[in-house]
Amino acid sequence: MHNPFFVLGLDPGAGRSEIERQGAKLLALLAAGSPQARRFSGPGGNEFERSDSSVRAAMAELRDPVRRLRHEWWFGRLGG
Amino acid sequence: MLETAFVGIDLGTTNSAIARFDGTRAEVIPNARGENLTPSVVRLDAEGVPTVGRAAQRRLESDPANTRAEFKRLMGTDERLEFARAGAARSPEELSAYVLASLLDDAEATLGVRPSQAVISTPALFELPQSHATVRAGQLAGLDEVQLIQEPIASAVATGWQRDAQGLWLVFDLGGGTFDASLLETEDGWLRVLDHDGDNFLGGKDFDRKLLDWAVAELGRRGVEVPRRETPDGRRVAAALKQACESARIELSRLERTELLVPELRGVGWDGAHELDLVVTRQTFEALIEPLVERCLEVCRRLLSANQRDAEAVERVVLVGGPTLTPRVRQRVAEVFGGRVATDVDPMTVVARGAALFAGTLGLEAAAEKTSAQNPAGLPLQLEYPPATVDPEPFVVGRFPTEGANPPHTVSLQRGDGWTSAEVGVDERGTFVVQAELAAHAASRFRVIARDSRGTLVAVRGDEFQIVHGLSVADPPLARSIGVARSNDEVAVFFRKGTPLPARRSVYLTSATAVTAGSEESALSIPIVQGERHRAHNNRLIGRLRVDGRQLQRDLPRGAEVRVGLELDRSGVLRAVANIPSLELTCEEVVHILVDSTTAEGLAKKLEELEARVASIRSQLFGGGASSLLRALQGVDESLIEVRSGVELARAGDRDAAARTQRLLQEIDASLDEAEIGSEWPDIEAEADRKISWALYWLSIHGTEGEQERGERALTVANEARRATDVVALERAVGTLTSLGSIACRRDEEFPLWELQWYEEHVAEAVEPEKAVQLLAEGREAWDNGEPERARKVLRQLDRLHPGTEDERRLSFDSGVF
């Protein structure tokens, strides 16, 4: 699984509302068939595929405070 | 124009209710009698015409052969309930469908249109077959679209709606036969479920049973002998006493004392010459139910403790279910939770109102055709937006088709009250993103205003939509992992526990069996299992996708590629698809969900199996001397006594006892699983030790620094799991170590030789033995010629030909794929 902050295109300072809003926006863009929404940049600038399942999974990860903390830690080490 | 209406239904064991949400308020729709609750009781006349609700309930005692209640407990089973006069039998789904149809009639009378889409609530602990049966009941009642919501979430949604609720919630749901406690959390209006716990054998009926035992003892003290239940008089008196106790329990919620009136005793155990004067006080009743109330609170404490919280952390407790109206229950809950109990919630209708609000969050309008009645002319527009959200400024995404027409240049949103958004550009693909602004805690209606490059208005089709501002509900998490059993007794995990729903995934597998075209007997079986265990047979079989010969134009050989896709919706309904590219065949269906039986014969058979399991475990335990597990078995023994009596009652036609016995059997099954793990624990540990030593050996020789670090972490987890006797965590940690060890082991120069030797011993089990022999020869030649990389390539091909042994295949529910 990719780091959820990369999947959602957010930085670790994002609050709960920002996460939900960004997730909802990406889901809407994916449903509308937006090609830009189907890709995201990972650490080092590599491009990866984004799907509605990966967006939902990323949102679920960041809703959990303990799991979020782990992703914040990794985000820093991945050079985000 | 029809007003907005979202419909939610609480399909209860005892009573049901239907509610509507208009975008601002959620309220219960009364039935034709003006009552908010419709008893979940169905009666069939001689022609098979159903009567539902209060009228049917009145005949429950006097005409039990043609009247049925509490069939919700049988949902997801293969039980059929007989109706003597109609000479017909109905499934629990069909009976639930009658209740739902009656509620939809009431909604139609109020709304002016019959709902075609609705949300139905289900208990938190419902499993896939029960959820599936509920959706089917909705479809049988004429609903085109049914979504489910767990009852505690519905309660929290209804209570949190239009409140600035924050923090931890506990939903205390005491029904007629079950108790559910759920922990939820709200943060900035976003609601998510943390965990559930419950007791399937604790409810208002147990309160009544305590009172009944007291009444029988009191009658005995006055020389009145209650006739035995086996006799016709006994059954009549027992039914009357049960009814009197239920009435007394309800009356004692507002009165300090009440009298148990049982005129049916006259001439049976009582001469009627003197008054029985069977008065019960609230104090007596409260003393009787005290242990039951404490059991409920113990479940709450266990739930909080499992989530590292205490009662102080709970901001609000929501009471749900009729028995929570009992003053002693309210008082004890308030004492434990420092008075933080929501007092302005009607426990009888809160679930229906929450279900209606949830229909709003899904945009599931009762009359689905309404949106298509919009402007039929103009450019078609596809809109994506959250139908309900706590976000006051959500994004709206739109897309105009670009084929054959130029998309507009800009768009903006206009709200019903005149507010207008900024204009945003439409890109070359016809897509735009615009931010809406919602009226607080209300429904906002919007229209998309589109203009061309000259600023002229462009007509748009499907330009109107509505967003409700309120509570948002996070995607529900999957309770247990789901995957496909492979023929080598491993599991291809599709969805891990905690995966947010909806979810879908496809995995490429290989056929382990050949299927002959046109043959009914010849079939490819794809078993679907639920659970966390590493070996397929340790998990629960929940369904099976079957591709039989009749569906094939050509034979399906062993070793063919099979793409299996699973899709789980929010309601937990599972759809499966098998695609065989070589045959250009796709089999798609809602997977056949396996059901439990509640017939007396089925229960007796299950009891027999359990007794054999108990004997076997006991003999193993005596050898190993694990006293704690023997104690666990003593609890099972007590439950088995209850099961035996339940099977007898089921044989005598007591459906309630049958359903209760079936649930008891399931619980014993689960206890035995634990006990068996206990008895197998030394073997599990020994196997784990062997694998860990093997992995650590190879990691120490060929592992990278990173792999060794991961191995160390997995070893720590394995040791913790061992201390806690947690087989799932141990298997997972050992699995990680084994994978790391395999990677390291493959780096050894001799590895290809060992693998070739193993395949030579097992070549007969390959799906294509001839091809396997050919590959083995090629591999040997590569190895002998000093070409290890070529040998490794051959091994990868051999790996794809090996479906597991016959024993593994049998254990894996006869899986036909690997």
* Per-residue pLDDT tens digits for A14-30: 988 899 899 999 999 99
**For position B2, what pLDDT does the model report?**
45
Cα–Cα dist B378/B461, whole Å: 5
B362 vs B670, higher pLDDT:
B362
B61 or B320, greater pLDDT:
B320
pLDDT at A32: 87
0.95 surpassed by pTM: no
A33 vs B386, B399, B502: nearest CB = B399
pLDDT reading at B373 higher than 50: no
Is pLDDT above 50 for B370? Answer: no
Q: Which of B22-36, B132-146, B641-655 has the lowest mean pLDDT?
A: B641-655
- Non-local (6+) Cβ contacts of B756 within 8 A are B776, B779, B780, B783, B791, B795
Is the model more confident about B231 or about B369?
B231
What pLDDT does B36 receive? Answer: 95
In sequence order, what are the residues at sequence separation of 6 or more whose Cβ sits closer than 8 angstroms to the Cβ of residue B350? B154, B155, B158, B159, B318, B320
Q: B652 versus B684: which is more confidently predicted?
A: B684
- Average pLDDT of chain B, as a whole number: 85
Mutate to test the interface with A, among B195, B384, B434, B471 (most CBs of A within 10 A): B384
- Residue B375 predicted with pLDDT over 60: no
- Report which of residues A74 and B566 the model is more confident about: B566
Give residue-wise pLDDT tens across range B40-67.
Answer: 999 999 999 999 999 999 888 778 889 9
- Give the CA count within 13 Å in the CB-facing half-sphere of B609: 11
Q: Look at B433 and A25 and tell me if their CB atoms are within 8 Å.
A: yes
Nearest chain A CA: its distance from B463 CA (Å): 15
Please check whether residues B119 and B168 belong to one and the same domain: no
Query: How many CA within 13 A on the CB side of residue B731?
Result: 16
Residues B81 and B138 in one domain: yes
CA distance B504 to chain A (A): 7
Query: Inter-chain contact A63–B385, Cβ cutoff 8 Å?
Result: no
Domain boundary among B734, B752, B770: B734
| Section B785-794 average pLDDT | 89
Q: B595-619, pLDDT tens digit by residue?
A: 556 677 778 888 888 888 788 777 7
User: Which region holds residue B450: left if phi is over 0, alpha if psi is between -120 and 50, else beta?
Assistant: beta
- Residue B276, domain member (yes or no): yes
Any domain includes B803: yes
Contact B138, B120 (CB under 8 A): yes
B294 and B354 housed in the same domain: no
Do B383 and B460 belong to one domain? yes
Q: What is the pLDDT of residues B521-561, one digit of tens each?
A: 888 999 998 887 888 887 878 888 888 888 888 888 888 88
Residues B288 and B435 in one domain: no
Q: What is the CATH number of the domain that holds A50?
A: 1.10.287
CA distance B389 to chain A (A): 9
**Which whole number is the average pLDDT over B81-110?**
95
Number of domains comprising chain B = 5
Average pLDDT over residues B256-262: 87
Partner-chain contact B474 A63, CB within 8 Å: yes
pLDDT at res. B435: 94
Domain of residue B169: give its range: 162-342
Contact A32 B399 (CB under 8 A): yes
H-state helical runs in B185-272: 204-221, 232-251
How confident is the model at residue B273, as a pLDDT? 57
Give the per-residue pLDDT at B275.
Answer: 62
Higher pLDDT, B235 or B551: B551
Which of B395, B403, B413, B428 should one mutate to test binding to chain A, selecting the residue with the greatest count of A CBs within 10 A? B395
Please answer yes or no on whether A25 and B498 come within 8 Å at the CB atom: no
Q: Distance (Å, rounded) from C-alpha B621 to C-alpha B300? A: 33
Q: What is the pLDDT of residues B405-441, one digit of tens each?
A: 788 999 999 999 999 999 999 998 899 999 999 988 7
Bridge partners for B577 per DSSP: B565, B588
Chain B residues with CB-CB distance to A under 8 A?
187-188, 190, 192, 382, 384-386, 389-391, 393-399, 429, 431, 433, 472, 474-475, 477, 498-500, 502-505
Do B383 and B460 touch, CB atoms closer than 8 A? Answer: no
pLDDT digits (tens, 9 = 90+) for B173-192: 998 877 888 888 887 777 77
For the stretch B189-223, pLDDT in tens is 777 778 778 876 788 888 988 998 898 888 888 77
Q: What is the pLDDT of residue B371?
A: 46
CB-CB: which of B389, B399, B504 is closest to A24? B389
Per the model's pLDDT, the better-predicted residue between B371 and B608 turns out to be B608
Give the distance from residue B427's alpha carbon to the nearest chain A alpha carbon, in angstroms: 10
| Distance from C-alpha of B538 to C-alpha of B536, rounded to nearest angstrom | 5
B752 and B619 in a common domain: no
pLDDT at B657 over 60: yes
Helices (H), B267-316: 282-306
ipTM of the complex: 0.83
Residues of A in Cβ contact (< 8 Å) with B187:
16
Distance from CA of A55 to the nearest CA of B (A): 10
Give chain A's domain count.
1
- What is the Cα–Cα distance from B318 to B344, expressed in whole angstroms? 10
In a domain, B367, yes or no: no
Q: In this structure, are B761 and B651 located in the same domain? A: no
Residue B629 has pLDDT above 80, yes or no: no
Q: What is the CATH number of the domain that holds B215?
A: 3.30.420.40
Check whether residue B748 and residue B615 sit in a common domain. Answer: no
Contact: B384, A21; criterion CB under 8 Å: no
Contact (CB<8Å) B384/A17: no
Shared-domain flag, residues B305 and B174: yes
Q: Which residues of A touch B499 (CB under 8 A)?
A: 57, 60
**Mean pLDDT in residue range B747-774:** 87
* pLDDT of the residue at B202: 83
Cβ–Cβ of A56/B431 closer than 8 Å? no
Please indicate whether, in this complex, the C-beta atoms of A35 and B397 are within 8 angstroms of each other: no
Pairing of strands B167-174, B314-320: parallel
Cβ contact A17–B389 (<8 Å): no
Residues B194 and B269 in one domain: yes
Q: Does a structural domain hold residue B76?
A: yes
What number of helices (H) and strands (E) belong to chain B?
Answer: 18, 38
- Asked if A8 and A57 touch (Cβ cutoff 8 Å), the reply is no
CB contact under 8 A, A20 and B472: yes
Same domain, B290 and B428: no
Whether B391 sits inside 8 A of A24 (CB atoms) is yes
Answer whether residue B436 is part of any domain: yes
Say what the pLDDT of residue B376 is: 62
pLDDT at B3 over 70: no
Q: Note down the domain range covering A21.
A: 4-77
Residues of chain B found within 8 Å of residue A24, distances taken between Cβ atoms: 386, 389, 391, 394-395
What mean pLDDT comes out for the span B314-329? 92
How many Cβ contacts (< 8 angstroms) between chains A and B? 72
B170 and B287 fall within a common domain: yes
Considering only residues 7 to 66 of chain A, which have any Cβ-Cβ distance to chain B shorter than 8 Å?
Answer: 15-17, 20-21, 24-25, 27-29, 31-35, 53, 56-57, 59-60, 63
